[in-house]
Chains A and B, each alone.
Chain A
């Protein structure tokens, strides 16, 4: 960090490079597996990089350290984005990403804490990630630990009622050691019709006014651009210091980084063809070149 709390230009370039690599690896892994989600992992990639490379107090060599920060991917279908980030961060070899969704792989379709060190909570059934985060934050308080618990939510994920049960309880216990980040990309698997019905790609937003909603549940709120690494990191530092539970509402683009995947719900879960893979890798190479 530079003196004013922002990332240095050099560090910013490193993080951007890491985010591009995460996108490259996750697209490659989904192509190799012949199945998997793309839109959500791509929208979350910058947030995941900011968390794992800058915000989380973790040691990839000691993934069970009781003092580590906890992270829960509530939108568990973005698992490949998390796996690519963990591999880039040194939790396991990047080559293992190509075992994604294979029999006996540690990289299950949805994160499985019983097989992959570094996964603090299994997830995949939506709406369930925030509650274990409360449990971890409460445990830190009860056991006198100063670690922070982070939960990445989706806006489709947040349609589940359990998220709002959890939101209410977290603010009752004033869990300042808990931060949720909303990957607010506006789309979900199929979505809600506009006035023109389901005839085109247009959809109503998966969730509207999240800042207002979370504030009414007693949470501190920070609204940011979820693809601006400076803003994500800055929001994370502010959230860690807040005494109330904090939601970082991160405006994102589903499919971010690959022009033909952006804002198209059809790329929620679809493997790219060989040609699409090459086109995507080409776009990412150009982005890296431009850094």
Chain B
């Protein structure tokens, strides 16, 4: 489907809260476990509107992950509300031993994922969650691009039997998906067709990639854009097909190590070796600063993506 940067904007965290209420109303198994961040992750909508489905677990992520596992063995579907930086790191062993190894039906919402965390800096910026989570056997890893896709991914995740990690961004971004979009776990979306070069992107970086495609089109460069909302399981077929242009740039709001860029490089290395550039945060920690300043300094703007495409084509 052709995606365009629309007039509407939405914050994925608002969608997270709204969709939790929607899931609760349609599925009696759904409960929300909060690590005392509900008014940031927006799971507070559940606390206020469906309090009987909201379980405060306090500032104790290790216990929260274990409680979720126990609930899942009894047929409930716990959704965890916390920041990506904590839920990925603080309770990683719990996630490994009592969620991933038994393959339990726990849904993990990683809020404030990526570089833009509202002036909180490196302790709160999680830029390796995709890399960590996709190395976990049995884990499904999703990075939605906009609010529409965030909701659709949550509905699909709730229907999937097994652990799912979804990363959500904090701030508002333009909507690119049509309202009736249906999410399919493990399937990429060809957002633009083109013959000169391919951009493969995930999460909110797809919005910036779409803007880059526009900039490049004005220069006569025809770009194919593949959006991969599911990083695991990876849509290898779509990746290999997209690489037919002979040049691939990956783009993600994540470290360039082990995330989308790593996954695409692994797939192409085995199936269709192709010249590549990886756009993302370099191997470094971030800092606290206004969003536009961070995007510029850490190289995630649409112009940065476009520049990488030009550089690859000149090589």
Contact = CB atoms under 8 A, between A and B. Distances in A.
A122 B63 contact: no
A161 B62 contact: yes
B62 A162 contact: yes
Contacts of B67: 131-132, 134-135, 138, 166, 169
Given A121-B69, A122-B97, A165 B62 contact: yes
A133 interface: yes
A171 to B, nearest CB: 12
A136 interface: yes
Interface stretch (A18-26, A139-147, A183-191): A139-147
Residue from B58, B67, B68, B71 having most chain A Cβ neighbours under 10 A = B67
B57 to A, nearest CB: 6
Interface string B54-86: 010110101111111111111110100000000
Contact of A169 (B60, B68, B101): B60
Interface in B36-68: 55, 57-58, 60, 62-68
Contacts of B78: 135
Contacts of B70: 121, 131-139
Decide if the interface of chain A is mainly helix, strand, loop or mixed. helix
A134 B97 contact: no
Which of the four size classes fits the interface of chain B?
Answer: 20 to 34
A47 B67 CA distance: 24
A143 B70 CA distance: 13
Interface string B134-174: 00000000000000000000000000000000000000000
Contact of A131 (B62, B72, B73): B62
Given A113-B102, A125-B93, A120 B66 contact: no
Which of the four size classes fits the interface of chain A?
Answer: 20 to 34
B93 A136 contact: no
B112 interface: no
A109 interface: no
B91 to A, nearest CB: 9
Given A113-B102, A125-B97, A128-B94, A162 B63 contact: yes
Interface string A151-164: 00000000001100
A78 interface: no
A130 to B, nearest CB: 7
A143 B74 contact: yes
A123 interface: yes
Interface in A156-200: 161-162, 165-166, 168-169, 172
B193 to A, nearest CB: 44
A77 to B, nearest CB: 13
A142 B71 CA distance: 10
A153 B62 CA distance: 17
Contacts of B69: 121, 131-132, 135
B97 A128 contact: yes
Contacts of A140: 74
Nearest to B66: A131
Given A123-B97, A135-B71, A128 B66 contact: yes
A66 B65 CA distance: 22
A142 B31 contact: yes
Contact of A136 (B57, B60, B73): B73
A114 interface: yes
A124 interface: yes
26 contacts: A112-B101, A112-B102, A114-B102, A114-B103, A121-B69, A121-B73, A123-B98, A125-B93, A130-B66, A131-B63, A131-B64, A131-B67, A132-B73, A134-B63, A135-B71, A138-B67, A139-B71, A139-B73, A139-B76, A140-B74, A142-B31, A143-B76, A162-B63, A166-B63, A169-B57, A172-B58
Interface of A: 66, 70, 112-114, 120-125, 127-128, 130-140, 142-143, 161-162, 165-166, 168-169, 172
Interface of B: 31, 55, 57-58, 60, 62-76, 78, 93-94, 96-98, 101-103
Given A135-B69, A138-B55, A139-B76, 7 more contacts: A113-B73, A122-B101, A125-B96, A131-B65, A134-B70, A137-B70, A139-B71
